Amino acid sequence: MTEKSSADSLFEDIDENLKTVRFNISEAAAKSGRTEKDVRLMAVTKTVQPVYINHALRQGIDLIGENKVQELLSKLEYLEGSPEKHIIGHLQSNKVRKITGIVSMIESLDGESVANEISSRSLAAGITTDVLLEVNIGREEAKTGVMPEMLAELAAAVSSLGGIRIRGLMAVPPAGISETENRRYFAEARKMYEDLKSRYGKDVDTLSLGMSGDYVQAILEGSNLVRIGSAIFGARRY
């Protein structure tokens, strides 16, 4: 018998983890009257090396998320296949140019100036960029995202721009809270999403809630996009 390399066992871990995550997604979707097809799975690949990302892509992952523009760009040439890519971290205006046309969605839009930049870069490129408005659902000072009471104003401003399309909402509840509190935040986000939808119509179809620790709760509250990193790739080592 030959000994397995540690890379092999990491590949096996990813396979196992993906099975578990997919199973949990389909159970939670069923409990909320939907099927697993109604909930999109994003693999969050920050700090993950391309060799492992490629393994996940071979297991059917077709959407990856990165927080940082530079990290995303540095990995692109090593990726096999062409997964969809979303930016999920705070985006600065001066980075917008680098990802216009490369990512299919910016999930972390939280201000008018960056929206203006996305608009002008997209118009110049002749494309429309899809965005989610990130809401600071727990009103935490240290967190990015628009405060809930400013959401309507931001949505109105963004919807008046060309080259940019509001597809929905993204939120991350405060860390270290109880399951009940967590679900309450998700339910609030869901309500804001429904408001957005009734105001801006059928383009609004994406509610991005839920990470490794809470994606089941998020799905039970109506999430249709879960962003999962460590539950697929293991704990991050920075």
Ligand X SMILES: *Cc1c(COP(=O)(O)O)cnc(C)c1O
DSSP string of 104-125?
Answer: SEEEEE--HHHHHHHHHHHHHH
- Cα(181)–Cα(187) distance, integer angstroms: 10
Given 18, 44, 64, 225, the residue binding ligand X (CB under 6 A): 44
Q: How large is the angle between the packed helices 151-159 and 179-200, nearest 10 degrees? A: 40
85 binds ligand X (CB under 6 A): no
Query: Considering beta carbons, is residue 25 or 231 the nearer one to ligand X?
Result: 231
28 binds ligand X (CB under 6 A): no
67 binds ligand X (CB under 6 A): yes
211 binds ligand X (CB under 6 A): yes
24 binds ligand X (CB under 6 A): no
Query: Considering beta carbons, is residue 68 or 159 the nearer one to ligand X?
Result: 68
Binding span for ligand X by CB under 6 A among 29-37, 79-87, 198-206, 228-236: 228-236
- Cα(16)–Cα(5) distance, integer angstroms: 17
Q: How many Å separate Cα 176 from the centre of its chain?
A: 20
- Cα(221)–Cα(29) distance, integer angstroms: 10
47 binds ligand X (CB under 6 A): no
Q: How far is the CB of 137 from ligand X (least distance, A)?
A: 12
Given 90, 147, 212, 234, the residue binding ligand X (CB under 6 A): 212
171 binds ligand X (CB under 6 A): no
Q: How many Å separate Cα 91 from the centre of its chain?
A: 13
- Cα(88)–Cα(69) distance, integer angstroms: 10
Given 88, 118, 204, 219, the residue binding ligand X (CB under 6 A): 88
Cβ-based neighbours of 9, under 8 Å, separated by 6 or more? none
Residue with tokens 């929206």: 115
Q: How far is the CB of 107 from ligand X (least distance, A)?
A: 7
Which chain residues interact with ligand X by CB under 6 A?
44, 46, 67, 88-89, 172, 211-213, 227-231
